[in-house]
Structure 1
Amino acid sequence: MQLELILELPQLTISYDHDNQWLYVNWQGVHNQDSTRQGCLLILEVIRQRPVAKILNDNTNITHPSFQVTEWGISWLRTMHTAGLHYMAWVYAPTFPQRRASEAIVQYLANPTVASFDDLATAYYWLRQQQVSGPPMSA
């Protein structure tokens, strides 16, 4: 896997996976509603500069998640779709109290398709299987 580092912060790393042509987003440490929103806005900036159709969103290194998917998060996902995102594989943190609530909200989102996973390998495999027709849209 050839990753090109795009952004590296103590709590968030965004890389471009050249082999798979997607963003790999690695969240680390403690995250709350505010830090999650800030991270999401950074991801949006990156996807606007470098449109991709897929994101592997890795939360396995989050040590204390205290955030939930809200109306703002759904709006962000819709904006991400407008910027070119078609598929997001979301790997949950080992402990994520808001998991059921998040899954219940995200399942009603038509675009982009967001699938949740417990491990990185399964998410990676699923994301590789998703077919995208044409190049990513630009915002």
Structure 2
Amino acid sequence: MNLRHLCTAPHVKVYFDSWNNWLYIEWEGALTLPAVQYACLEVAQCFVKHAYPRVLNSDAQVTSLPWEVVPWLTKHFFPYLELAGIEQLAWVHAPVVRAFGLSAQVREQLPYLNIGVFADLENATSWLQQTNPAYEGSHVPLPRPVAGETLLAQAVVHFKQALAHQGIDAELAARP
């Protein structure tokens, strides 16, 4: 992997892998709902200017995931994945049982998305590398059509306002 750092938030780091032409999202630690909400905002902002149709999401270093995270993600975050332009997602599930259930739920909720669920990063990487999308080989983030960029930017602004209204910021997200 040839990683270019895009952003960091408590419990998550986001990179663009120019060698494989995908977004790499790496989660870690004991997650809380505010941490996941804030991190999802940071991740969403990465998609506003560029489309990343392929995503490698690793939860391998997640040590705990509270029950309220799953319904929040299902209702408030996953519906925007299509707008973000994600087409393929290799998901390395966390060793905690609830996280594996989350990846299975995403698969059911987002039938348009080609999702592979894996127990380790090696198999997830291999699966995503074997896909052969039409844009393979460009090794640069793809620009988003202006109309899609506007819709996504508006959604991210609303998301940010909703979190601010709830008092969720980087400081709260970093608390255990």
- Per the alignment, residue 54 of structure 1 pairs with 54
Higher RCO (C-alpha under 8 Å, 6+ residues apart): 2
| Structure 1: stretches of 5+ with no match in the other structure | none
Give the length in aligned residue pairs.
139
C-alpha change, 1:45 and 1:34, in structure 2 (3 Å) is same
SS at match of 1:66: coil
* One-letter amino acid of the structure 1 residue matched with residue 81 of structure 2: M
CA deviation profile, 1:58-93 (whole Å, cap 9, x unmatched): 111112222453364365334222221101111111
C-alpha change, 1:71 and 1:10, in structure 2 (3 Å) is closer
Query: 16-25 or 113-122, which moves further after superposition?
Result: 113-122
Q: Give the Cα separation in 1 of the matches to 2:79 and 2:132.
A: 19
Q: TM-score scaled to structure 1, two decimals?
A: 0.83
Q: What displacement does 1:125 show?
A: 0.9
- Per the alignment, residue 25 of structure 2 pairs with 25
Q: What displacement does 1:115 show?
A: 2.2
Q: TM-score scaled to structure 2, two decimals?
A: 0.68
Higher normalized strand content (fraction of residues): 1
RMSD: 2.4
Query: 11-20 or 122-131, which moves further after superposition?
Result: 122-131
* One-letter amino acid of the structure 2 residue matched with residue 45 of structure 1: Q
Identity %: 24
